[in-house]
């Protein structure tokens, strides 16, 4: 297991180095996040719906849309010059390959979320400082779940026609449990309710992470092997 994690980390670092050198992917994802937040603000009637009522949904829809966009490029990157074949013939465990992609995607999406969250607080005038530790933990738990599924599904669609469209179609049903759970917990956090009210949702989110990270790690080798 130690070796798998070490290899996964090396692969993740490769992806992140690639990302940091070009910066186009990261920059577009950040601009996209800022734009979605702005568009949503105008997508409501401010006299009828208070910003706070919609805030948790807007936050999570923005995060999940940004994640779908970022996930599209995870394996697309490897199609150029048959880099994927190179990875597959290298003496690396397939599970390390999946975990590497997962780490890299988590860093990418996590960075977008880290920039998106203060922007959201600014635009919607919501004080997040006093709930920051539980909110950050919640974002981490929910993000791990949907990025784990997204990483595997993005490997499925790369060789498929209309991959950019196919990924969201396949992925959005899988976003329902983490999205709904995260919105519920976020709403309670913003309104200062105790976390014990949402213990069911928290357990659901944790179980989702556990099931889908293991299932994806287990099934990834069959997915990429001819």
Partner 1 sequence: MTLKTRGRAITLLGLVFLAGVYVRAIWFTPVERLQGGAQKIFYVHVPAAWSTMLAFSLVGLASILYLLMKDERYDRFAAASAEVGTVFACVMLTTGPLWAKPIWGTWWTWDARLTSTLFLFFLFIGYLLLRGAIPEAGTRARYSAVLGIFGAALVPFIHLTVYLFRTLHPQPIVLKPSAPSLPGDMLATLLFSFFTFTILYVGFVTQRYALGRGDSHVG
Name which of 106 and 157 has its Cβ closer to partner 1: 157
Name which of 137 and 160 has its Cβ closer to partner 1: 160
Name which of 120 and 220 has its Cβ closer to partner 1: 220
Q: How far is Cα of residue 137 from the mean position of the Cα atoms in its chain?
A: 14
Shortest spacing between CB 162 and partner 1, in angstroms: 7
Contacts 24+ apart (CB under 8 A), 71-74: 71/105, 71/147, 71/150, 71/151, 71/153, 71/154, 71/167, 71/171, 72/154, 72/163, 72/164, 72/167, 73/25, 74/15, 74/101, 74/104, 74/105, 74/151, 74/154, 74/155
Shortest spacing between CB 19 and partner 1, in angstroms: 26
Shortest spacing between CB 222 and partner 1, in angstroms: 6
Name which of 120 and 212 has its Cβ closer to partner 1: 212
C-beta of residue 126 within 8 angstroms of C-beta of residue 186: no
Shortest spacing between CB 218 and partner 1, in angstroms: 9
C-beta of residue 216 within 8 angstroms of C-beta of residue 98: yes
Which residue ranges make up the site for partner 1 (CB under 8 A)?
149, 152-153, 156-157, 159-162, 166, 169-170, 172-174, 176-177, 180-181, 184, 200-201, 204, 207-208, 211-212, 215, 219, 222-223, 226
């Amino acid at each position: 297991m130690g070796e798998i994690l070490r290899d996964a980390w090396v692969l993740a670092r490769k992806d992140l180095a690639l990302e940091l050198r070009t910066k186009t992917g990261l920059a577009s994802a950040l601009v996209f996040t800022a734009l979605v937040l702005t568009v949503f603000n105008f997508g409501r009637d401010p006299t009828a719906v208070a910003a706070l009522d919609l805030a948790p949904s807007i936050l999570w829809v923005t995060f999940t849309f940004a994640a779908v966009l970022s996930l599209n490029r995870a394996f697309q990157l490897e199609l150029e010059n048959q880099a994927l074949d190179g990875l597959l013939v290298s003496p690396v465990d397939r599970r390390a390959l999946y975990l590497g992609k997962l780490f890299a995607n988590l860093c990418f999406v996590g960075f977008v979320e880290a920039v998106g969250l203060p922007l959201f607080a600014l635009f919607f005038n919501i004080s997040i400082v006093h709930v920051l530790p539980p909110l950050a933990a919640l974002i981490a738990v929910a993000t791990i779940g949907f990025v784990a599924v997204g990483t595997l599904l993005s490997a499925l669609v790369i060789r498929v026609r209309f991959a950019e469209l196919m990924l969201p179609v396949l992925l959005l049903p899988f976003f329902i449990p983490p999205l709904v759970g995260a919105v519920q917990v976020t709403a309670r956090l913003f309104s200062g309710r105790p976390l014990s009210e949402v213990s069911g949702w928290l357990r659901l989110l944790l179980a989702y992470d556990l099931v889908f990270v293991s299932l994806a790690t287990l099934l990834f080798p069959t997915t990429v092997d001819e």
